[in-house]
Structure 1
Amino acid sequence: MRWDSRQLEALAAVVAEGSFEAAARTLHVTPSAVGQRVRALENAAGSVLVRRTRPVAPTGPGRTLLRLARQVELLGAEASRELGPRDADDDPDGAPPRPVTVPIAVNADSLATWVMRALARVEGVCFDLHREDQDRTVDLLPAGVVMAAITSQREPVQGCTSTFLGVTRYRPAATREVVDRWFPDGPTLEALGRAPMLVFNRADDLQDAWLRERAAAAASTPGTVVPDPPRHHVPSTPEYVDGIRRGLGWGMWGPLPGPGARFGMLDGGPGDPGGQVVLLDDDAVVDVPIYLQQWKLRSTVLDRVAAALRHEARRALPQR
């Protein structure tokens, strides 16, 4: 079946912008024209493609055609750039071709530390970054929202490849004052159940995973339970780190850079005299493997983006 490129373009714009009105502004047409194109595409597909919510959300069939729309958009833009303007009327000012847009899902810690350095290497590309928890970024790939995702999931989702990037390394840390107040006898399970803890958001499981490991290690002791401490939710990486420095509680400090890399936000690290941050446990290390998953699509632009991410990840992240 042949799909109308303008109708696919309208579907992609509606999902990306969240409403028919915003999509109309992006496409420089009326909202009525956008609605007509999406309805025509729904008639051709024989299914409802978007839920008219705020923001608009694709249905199952809508996600299928959204992936197609993204692919058509990317390959069409690449072809236009390779061909260049056909004549003076197409490009009277000699302006360069419009950059291709590549949507990527990325977790907050990677975004705050090494990803922007990688993307800065790629010229002629605009990026539409979607910040999600590292366990959830991969969900945006089959939905057609993004073409690539930095994720903790190794197994490739359908239609994608998966490449190991490195590990994000964390260590439980707090200020010296917090340690002296809450952990005079060390990070016992009892103390960990009382001391305030910082988490990034409600999807952040790093701290709780470490607590479960410690409880499992002490499971031979009768009555052992997993600590459930009071917690601060701080959904911004710089402010999360600042919260630890200011003594709100303890949390996983990181990601810690690999050999030869320095993350400006975390320079100094635990033990830094300026921040007075120390480790709760000298031996505790939590490594989260990180992968790049991307669509199986023959695209020079997508390949360039992936190569830049792999290069910077090898420099910035521990490789085990």
Structure 2
Amino acid sequence: MNPVHLETLLAVVDEGSFDAAADQLAVTPSAVSQRIKALEQSTGRVLVRRMQPVTATEAGEVLAQAARRMRLLQAETDAQLTGRLARVPLSVAINADSLATWFPAVMAEVAGWDGACLRLHIEDEAHSVALLRRGDCVGAVTREHTPVSGCETTELGVMTYRACASPALAAHYTRADGSIDWAAMPALRYGPKDKIQDGDLKGRLDTPPRNRRISQVPSSEGFLEAVRVGLGWGLVPDQQSRQLVSSGQLVVLDDRVETVALHWQHWRLESPLLTQLTEAVTRAAAATLDPVSR
């Protein structure tokens, strides 16, 4: 199988279009199209769905994963021969809360690695493993502890979430008896795949009300700010809320907690760079996340 064709397939999948892939590879869009057609002819499979954005078919995903492995191994082989690592994008799937709290320590480590760079895919921790399964990334922060085929899993720790609101919002929706009017108080969601917030009323109300007032803020930092200014209440990780609670800018609404155990899944591959990344991820998580209860 032609390595140039595989690299072209990977560029098309990553960039989402033939034109963008051509720009990255410094060739014409026509050359990209010809390479993809040649690869499809040699494999006897349609490898990409020609839409906007371009996506890989099931067969294309298999080849894209193979291309990523080849790229990483080639770069490390070259490094052993020349003493310098070629530019290697380490594609990682991660949830927004992790990116906003403990993962910056990983970025700081990667910044000191010669030639390496990160390409992050923001995805809910319940869905990030799908990117790993498709071969879109070499590692993923996920809730799923069962390893994807061809991968290994490392336990990272627990993120603990509590219901928080601004003092003014909490006071407005607290009844005379001290109970909270959960049905009426406006709430927040990160996005349509927000599994944490989806169960926010469980144990607080027997029947969730219809037509709840819910705002959607698809950014971890923006979500926290929306809670702080009183747009709604939300489940916020302790790593983000502690200082704001201590300073009186947020209040914790009740004693209930939601916990999410996080795992690091990565390819089972003899790669010094991937091993380095795994060590950086586990160190950063251990320094910030709560330990898993036994």
Where on the TM-score scale, by shorter chain, does this alignment land: which range? over 0.9
State the alpha-carbon separation in 2 of the partners of residues 27 and 127 from structure 1: 19
List gaps (5 residues or longer) in structure 2.
none
Equivalent in 77, 80, 87 of residue 78 of structure 2: 80
Query: Counterpart in 2 of 1:107?
Result: 95
Equivalent in 16, 22, 37 of residue 20 of structure 2: 22
Query: Counterpart in 2 of 1:249?
Result: 232
Letter in 1 for 2:197: Q
State the alpha-carbon separation in 2 of the partners of residues 49 and 171 from structure 1: 45
RMSD: 1.6
Equivalent in 4, 12, 18 of residue 6 of structure 1: 4
Larger Rg: 1
Q: Deviations over 1:72-105 (max 9, x none)?
A: 11101111111118xxxxxxxxxx5432211000
Query: Counterpart in 2 of 1:177?
Result: 168
List gaps (5 residues or longer) in structure 1.
86-95, 216-223, 258-264
Letter in 1 for 2:157: G
Equivalent in 269, 277, 280 of residue 253 of structure 2: 280
Contact 1:105 1:146 in 2 (8 A): yes
Query: Counterpart in 2 of 1:200?
Result: 190
Alignment partner of 1:226: what SS? Answer: coil
Contact 1:192 1:227 in 2 (8 A): no
TM-score by length of 2: 0.93
Letter in 2 for 1:171: R
State the alpha-carbon separation in 2 of the partners of residues 199 and 102 from structure 1: 30
Contact 2:200 2:235 in 1 (8 A): no
CA displacement at 1:245 relative to structure 2: 0.9
State the alpha-carbon separation in 2 of the partners of residues 74 and 306 from structure 1: 15
Count of residue pairs the alignment pairs up: 287
TM-score by length of 1: 0.85
Superposition map of 1:293-312 within 5 A: 293-312=265-284
State the alpha-carbon separation in 1 of the partners of residues 194 and 52 from structure 2: 26
Contact 2:182 2:204 in 1 (8 A): no
Q: Deviations over 1:291-313 (max 9, x none)?
A: 10111111111110011000110
CA displacement at 1:248 relative to structure 2: 1.1
State the alpha-carbon separation in 2 of the partners of residues 118 and 48 from structure 1: 37
Q: Deviations over 1:128-177 (max 9, x none)?
A: 11111111111101111111000111221222111110011110011121
CA displacement at 1:266 relative to structure 2: 4.5
Contact 1:211 1:227 in 2 (8 A): no
State the alpha-carbon separation in 2 of the partners of residues 182 and 137 from structure 1: 36
Q: Deviations over 1:173-194 (max 9, x none)?
A: 1112111111224455xx2121
Superposition map of 1:1-320 within 5 A: 3-84=1-82, 97-122=85-110, 123-124=113-114, 125-184=116-175, 185-186=177-178, 191-215=181-205, 224-227=206-209, 229-254=212-237, 256-257=238-239, 266=241, 268-273=243-248, 275=249, 277-281=250-254, 283-320=255-292
Identity of aligned residues (%): 38
